[in-house]
A and B are shown apart, each in its own frame.
Chain A
Amino acid sequence: MLSIDLYYDWDAFHAHYQTSLAPGMTTLLGASGEGKSTLLHLLGGFLQGRGRVSFQGQALEHLLPYERPISTLFQSDNLFPQLTVWQNVAVGIAPSLSLQAEQKAKVSWALKQTQLSDKADQYPQALSGGQAQRVAIARVLVREKPILLLDEPFSALDPALREEMLALVNDVTERFDMTTLLVSHMPSEAVFVGGKVMLIEKGKIMANEEASVLSGGQIPEVFSHYLRMTTAS
């Protein structure tokens, strides 16, 4: 269980995030500027807020980014362009890049899982957008952190590829019993991955429901306003 009770103030923006996440997928919906990315940066330790956040009873708020049990897929810059695909995954195990035999085997396994085995020696610029994000997911696999945060990492991909990636994330979450938080501005993604869905407005989490409510006949009041806005645009 990931429990969040965090405050963050920036100019006129006052956020108070209060919720808890169970293992499995959770999609965080919200229009841009409502504080979605801010939450992920707070959880990752890249921003300093107030309040507490704990995972399975362990307080995280005082930990440095690399001490937290978290892997993050950012919107961009998930790979080091100067490292090969293999090295980009390997830094997830050992930043020094000196790996033991079993660790090397693990990198190869992760690349196989993400269908990148034949790209191991290539550099990121030779990859397509989808392949690049798969490398980042391969790194998530070798890092074995129980929490996965995704900050719209697939928004630049075309719809078919996006669904493919979401399915991969879903699969990974299930198989490794991860707590995954996917930030998105597309309700359809929440429906696609299933699990839970949350709505964020002005730095507050307004709803936390089963994702299936979005596809059912009876859409809860809190979501209907947001859904009208996204379909209108």
Chain B
Amino acid sequence: MPGKGYHLATWFRLAPALLGLLVFVLVGAASLAALLRFSQFESWAGYLHNIYLWRVVRFSLWQALLSSVLSLLIAVPVASCLTHRQFKGRGVLLQLFAVSMVVPTIVAILGIVVVYGHSGWLHALFGVETPLYGLLGILLAHVFFNMPLAVRLLLQSYGLVPSGQWRLASQLGFSRWTAFRLIEWSYIKKALPGAFVLIFMLCFSSFSVVLSLGGGPKSSTLEVAIYQALRFDFDLNKASFLSLLQVSICSLVALMVYRFAPANQQDVSLLDARLYPLKDSIVARSGDCLAMALAVFLVIPPFLAIFDPIFSITFYQTLMAEATWQAVWVSLKIAIPAGLLSLFLGGCFGVLARTAMDRGRLAFLSSKIEQLGSMILMVPGLVLATGLFLWLRSIGLSPQSGYWVVVWVNAVMALPFVLRALMPVLYQQEKRFRNLYTSLGIHGANRLVIEWPLIRKSVSQAFGYAVLLSLGDMGVIALFGSQGLVSLPLYLFQLIGSYRLQEGSCIAVILICLCLLLFYLSVRFIGGKTHVKY
């Protein structure tokens, strides 16, 4: 048993990590306190009778419910078809599904406007006039993002079906429907509640989609109402009430997420899973065709649409414009510090969690630390940002603090994803080598130096995700963006708002290229090219 002195030394070595955690907690608490200081609680009772407010709440819930049900309804047959059928383009489609989840929201919105908008493809080709702005547009965008997510979650549970069951089904002559009923359903029904709650929550707190495609107060969500209260009315009291309402509803849903959450798994390599032939029929074939056609029709056109105006003159004029490169600079200026900060915070959380792991009475701390990092998913970024801004102003750090607020909030919002990438490998290292480290007296940063070749790949991915998320962020920057602080997504949002789609598409292409480039650089230079075997 190590003595008391050992413990003291351990905690002393942890000081930097503890400091990081402390800053995270204190800034969060200060922001919340600042927000509450501007609230007049006695007036809150009045809001409870506000008809408009309840309409907003009702619409938020309603669109989230529709979005998640629709996404899942399409995803189930699509996942089944992708499991059973080999066809040309299947691999590409799976890749596209993976990509569509990380495409910056605002870029996809541009694609949807180009396809379904007033003078969009659908109108040009078939003369169909779609009432895009409103519920329909919101649903289209939410299904675009979340149906592929649902498919991938379902494919994970398909991966759990032992191949022996398919083999048996093949010999017994199961039809597709029988196989679905007897085998697949009992696996995916375990994943469905978790997937539903996750998608529901994402759609409930959706911001950019509703702001761009909602089309007015008729179809507004709480998140947008908060934005409007802050940006246009500067009504802090109302904003903090709305925020608390949002946080309470989100926490309620998040409680369910923790109950049903699908296990954190790596992607399944469905491409090399063994397939045994099942009895085919015209019904099965047409069902599959219908599901795939629907999925392809929903996902592919917006992707292509982004590149539609690439050959126009406006495209090149925009490419040369000073405003464009100004926005690129602002985006980089935000994304890279935010990524680094997020990685640093993730490192602090990781070091503390791995130290607490399997240490008797402290063991419970590791999961608590991880949850603390993920809790941020429940708090709207706008609320966090406003609180932080108010706090900074109250201690006299305005008015240039907008930039730092954006960086900090982006870093914090990316933290759950950083932790997801970082924690498994850190835990693994600790589990394998803790005793060796202890016996050799290797502590603190020395461990990281030794482990670097093994963890750099995860670190590069964590940093890549953080930068990607910050690059695509359209929430916080929409609130704090000003003349000198217009990032690519915000610029794109403004262009879509004024229906300058050709310029928008140029910005979208630049944004995508920037995302790819930074992610590649991160993986290449932080991740290294040598694959260390262990």
Contact: B168 with A78, CB < 8 Å?
yes
Which of A90-98, A161-169, A175-183, A206-214 is the contact stretch?
A: A90-98
Q: How far is the CA of A78 from the CA of B163 in the complex (A)?
A: 11
Binding stretch for chain A, among B52-60, B174-182, B254-262, B496-504: B174-182
Q: Which residues of B contact A190 (CB under 8 A)?
A: none
The yes or no answer to B263 lying at the interface (CB within 8 A) is no
Please give the distance in Å from B160's CB to the nearest CB on chain A.
12
Min CB gap A193→B, angstroms: 23
Cα of A74 to Cα of B162 in the assembled complex, Å: 13
B276 within 8 A of A: yes
Q: Classify the interface of chain B: helix, strand, loop or mixed.
A: helix
Instruction: Answer whether residue A58 sits at the interface, using C-beta atoms and an 8 A cutoff.
Output: no
Question: Which of under 10, 10 to 19, 20 to 34, or 35 or more describes the interface residues of B?
Answer: 20 to 34
Say yes or no: B182 contacts A95, CB within 8 Å.
yes
A10 to chain B, nearest CB (A): 14
Pairwise interchain contact B164-A46, C-beta atoms closer than 8 A = no
Q: Is B1 an interface residue (CB 8 A)?
A: no
Are the CB atoms of A66 and B279 closer together than 8 Å? yes
Evaluate whether A92 and B172 lie within 8 angstroms (CB atoms) in the complex, with A65-B276, A77-B165 already known: yes
A83 lies within 8 A of chain B by Cβ: yes
Query: What residues of B have a CB within 8 angstroms of the CB of A65 in the complex?
Result: 167, 170-171, 276-277
Bound: A7/B380 CA distance, A: 63
User: What residue of chain A has the Cβ atom nearest to residue B169's Cβ?
Assistant: A95
Would you call A70 an interface residue if the criterion is a C-beta within 8 Å of the partner chain's C-beta atoms?
A: yes
State whether A95 touches B175 (Cβ < 8 A).
yes
Q: Nearest B residue to A149 by beta-carbon distance?
A: B171
Cβ–Cβ < 8 Å partners of A87 in chain B: 182
A80 at the interface (CB under 8 A from B): yes
Q: Chain A 58-98, CB within 8 Å of chain B: the 1/0 string?
A: 00000011111011101011101011000100011001110
Q: How far is the CB of A129 from chain B (nearest CB, A)?
A: 15
Contact between chains at B174 and A77 (CB < 8 Å): no
Q: Within 8 Å of chain A (Cβ to Cβ): is B40?
A: no
Question: Of A64, A71, A82, which is within 8 A of B186 by CB?
Answer: A82
Q: Shortest Cβ distance from A70 into chain B, in angstroms? A: 7
Partner of B170, one of A46, A77, A91: A46
* Assembly CA distance A186 to B447 (angstroms): 52
Q: Which B residue's beta carbon lies closest to that of A76?
A: B164
Query: Which residues of chain B in 155-198 are interfacial with respect to chain A, using CB atoms and an 8 Å cutoff?
Result: 162-165, 167-175, 178, 182-183, 186
On whether the beta carbons of A66 and B170 are closer than 8 Å, the reply is yes
User: Contacting A66 at CB < 8 Å: which of B162, B164, B173?
Assistant: B173
Are A66 and B172 neighbours in the complex by a CB distance under 8 Å? Answer: yes
Asked whether A83 lies within 8 Å of B182 as measured between CB atoms, the reply is yes
Task: Return B347 CB to nearest CB of chain A, in Å.
Answer: 42
Q: Give Cα A67 to B174, complex, Å.
A: 11
CB pair B178 A96 closer than 8 Å: yes
Chain B residue with minimal CB distance to A91? B172
Expressed in whole angstroms, the Cα–Cα distance for A66 and B176 within the complex equals: 13
Contact, CB under 8 Å: B173 / A95: yes
Closest B residue by C-beta to A79:
B168
Indicate if A187 sits at the interface (CB-CB under 8 A).
Answer: no
Query: In the complex the two chains form, what is the Cα distance from A74 to B178 in whole Å?
Result: 21
A71 to B171, CA, bound (A): 7
B183: which A residues are within 8 A, CB to CB?
80, 82
A68 surroundings in chain B (CB, below 8 A) = 171
Report Cα–Cα, A96/B172, bound state, in Å.
11
Contact B171 A44 (CB under 8 A): yes
Identify B168's interface contact among A77, A96, A97, CB under 8 A.
A77
Given known contacts A46-B276, A65-B277, A96-B178, A70 and B165 CB-to-CB distance under 8 angstroms: no
Type the 1/0 row for B254-284, where 1 means its CB is closer than 8 Å to any CB of A: 0000000000000000000000110100000
- Contact A80 B171, beta carbon cutoff 8 Å: no
Q: A66-B173, A95-B172, A95-B173 are in contact. Are A80 and B167 (CB under 8 A)?
A: no
Tell me, rounded to whole Å, the shortest Cβ–Cβ distance linking A25 to chain B. Answer: 21
Q: Which of B167, B175, B186 contacts A46 (CB 8 A)?
A: B167
User: Top 8 closest A-B pairs, CB basis?
Assistant: A77-B164, A66-B173, A82-B186, A95-B178, A65-B170, A95-B174, A65-B171, A64-B277
What are 11 A-B pairs with beta-carbon distances under 8 A?
A: A46-B276, A64-B277, A65-B167, A65-B277, A74-B167, A77-B164, A82-B183, A83-B182, A87-B182, A91-B182, A95-B169
* Beyond A46-B167, A46-B170, A95-B174, 11 extra complex contacts between A and B, CB < 8 Å: A66-B172, A66-B173, A66-B277, A72-B171, A77-B162, A80-B165, A92-B172, A95-B173, A96-B178, A97-B178, A143-B172
